[in-house]
Structure 1
Amino acid sequence: MPVTDEAIDRIKAMIVGGQLRPGDRLPSEADLAERLGLSRNSLREAVRALSLIHVLDVRQGDGTYVATLEPARLLDALAFLVDFHQDDSLLQFFEVRRILEPAATAMAATAMSDQRIAELRAVVDSLGSDPPVDELVANDVEFHRRIAAGAGNTVLCSLIQGLSGSATRARVWSGLAREGAVGRFREQHDAICAAIEARRPEVAHAWATVHVAGVEDWLRGALGGPG
């Protein structure tokens, strides 16, 4: 095992074992390196890597702290990763979305408050008849974010939000606009919202499946993949 990976594993073990908790300040670099039996350079690389994935929070002039470890924060990097995939592997992310989003939509149909459902309807109704692509993308992000949050499971919400990066969304909506297919997908947003308003989880699940599968099929065609 590379030395840096070993250092990462040892810091992780301290956090998992409760020796370090969210918000705790790490010992000084020299003390921690001695305690873990590592070189300071290896420890420094490990801290840098763990800070990039939001496990550690490096505060200049103050020290290094264990971050909150909240799912939303730790899964931030997922959307960044998705945007790097521009080939057929991107479809695998949509396959996962096709499993998770309908389940979250069904949960939202029973868990969302009337107020949150009204706010979701306002998002659906806020688009004009011919909005620019950036407004379509922003509206799509907000629509799916509210449904995922409405499911009441923060881990599920974070996973769903991470599975579609901003560059991917922009690519999809730009393509739909060019092909004149925006209206169909906006109608699906309306149908999903109507099912949630009616508190019909099975119908919400079905429409969400149709919606995500439709985007997936469009993207498959755009990538030249098999139907």
Structure 2
Amino acid sequence: MALTDEAIDKIKGMITSGELGPGDRLPKESDLAERLGLSRNSLREAVKALSMIRVLDVRRGDGTYVTSLEPDLLLDALSFVVDFHRDDTVPQFLEVRRILEPAATALAATRMTDREIVTLRSVLDELGTDPTIEALVANDLEFHRLIAAGSGNAVLCSLIDGLSGPAARARTWRGMTQEGAAARTREQHRAIVDAIASREPDLARSWAAIHVAGVEQWLRRAA
């Protein structure tokens, strides 16, 4: 095992054991290195790596702290990784969306408040009758973000948000090359909102699956 990996594992062990909790400050570098049997260089590299994935927060002149470790913070790195996808992996991301988004939509049908549903409808109403592709994609992303948040599951919401990059590009491509895509998207969005508002999780799940599968199926044909 590389020395940096060993250092990462030891710091991780301190956190998972409860020795260090969210918001706690790490001991001084020299003290921690001696305690863990590490060189200061290895410890420094480990801290740098863990700060990049939001496990640690290095505050210059103040010290290094464990972050809140909230799912949205930790999974934020997922969107960074997703941005490096290859074009031939986009269908795989859509497969994952086809698993996650219907589940989130079903949960939203049971958990979204009436006020949140009104907000969701207003997002649809903001889109004009002849939107640009950019406006359509932005509206689509906001629509799915609100549903994911409405699922009440922070981990699920963060995963869906992290997967939005390649999915958004696929929707843009589809919108530019497939006639009627905008109208179909709005129609399916309306059906999803109606199912959520009616508190019908199975129907909401079905419409979400149809919606994501349509993009996926088109993309596979176009590839």
TM-score, shorter chain, exceeding 0.5: yes
1:172 maps to 2:171: yes
Superposition deviation, residue 63 in structure 1: 1.0
Superposition deviation, residue 80 in structure 1: 1.9
DSSP 3-state at the match of 2:183: helix
Alignment-derived partner of residue 86 in structure 1? 86
8 Å Cα contact 1:172/1:219 also seen in 2:
no
**Which AA in structure 1 matches 2:86?**
Q
> Which structure 1 residue ranges, 4+ long, deviate > 3 Å from structure 2?
none
DSSP 3-state at the match of 2:85: coil
Alignment-derived partner of residue 57 in structure 2? 57
1:96-135 pair list within 5 angstroms: 96-135=96-135
Alpha-carbon distance between aligned partners in 2 of 1:50 and 1:24, rounded to the nearest angstrom: 15
The one-character-per-residue Cα deviations of 1:34-84 (angstroms, maximum 9, x if unpaired) are: 111111111111111100100000111111100000000100111222221
The answer for unaligned runs of 5 or more in structure 2 is: none
Alpha-carbon distance between aligned partners in 1 of 2:103 and 2:29, rounded to the nearest angstrom: 45
Superposition deviation, residue 171 in structure 1: 4.3
**Which AA in structure 2 matches 1:59?**
R
Superposition deviation, residue 175 in structure 1: 3.1
Alignment-derived partner of residue 19 in structure 1? 19
Relative to the length of structure 1, the TM-score reads 0.93
Alpha-carbon distance between aligned partners in 1 of 2:176 and 2:117, rounded to the nearest angstrom: 27
DSSP 3-state at the match of 1:57: strand
**Which AA in structure 2 matches 1:122?**
S
Alpha-carbon distance between aligned partners in 1 of 2:38 and 2:91, rounded to the nearest angstrom: 41
> What RMSD in Å do the two structures reach over aligned CA positions?
1.4
**Which AA in structure 2 matches 1:150?**
G
Alpha-carbon distance between aligned partners in 2 of 1:15 and 1:87, rounded to the nearest angstrom: 37
Superposition deviation, residue 87 in structure 1: 2.7
Superposition deviation, residue 179 in structure 1: 2.2
8 Å Cα contact 1:14/1:20 also seen in 2:
yes
DSSP 3-state at the match of 2:164: coil
Alpha-carbon distance between aligned partners in 2 of 1:2 and 1:86, rounded to the nearest angstrom: 29
DSSP 3-state at the match of 1:130: coil
How many residue pairs get aligned? The number is 222
Alpha-carbon distance between aligned partners in 1 of 2:206 and 2:76, rounded to the nearest angstrom: 28
1:190-209 pair list within 5 angstroms: 190-209=190-209
Identical pairs, percent: 65
The one-character-per-residue Cα deviations of 1:116-145 (angstroms, maximum 9, x if unpaired) are: 111100011110122223322221121111
Alpha-carbon distance between aligned partners in 1 of 2:70 and 2:205, rounded to the nearest angstrom: 27
Relative to the length of structure 2, the TM-score reads 0.94
**Which AA in structure 2 matches 1:215?**
V
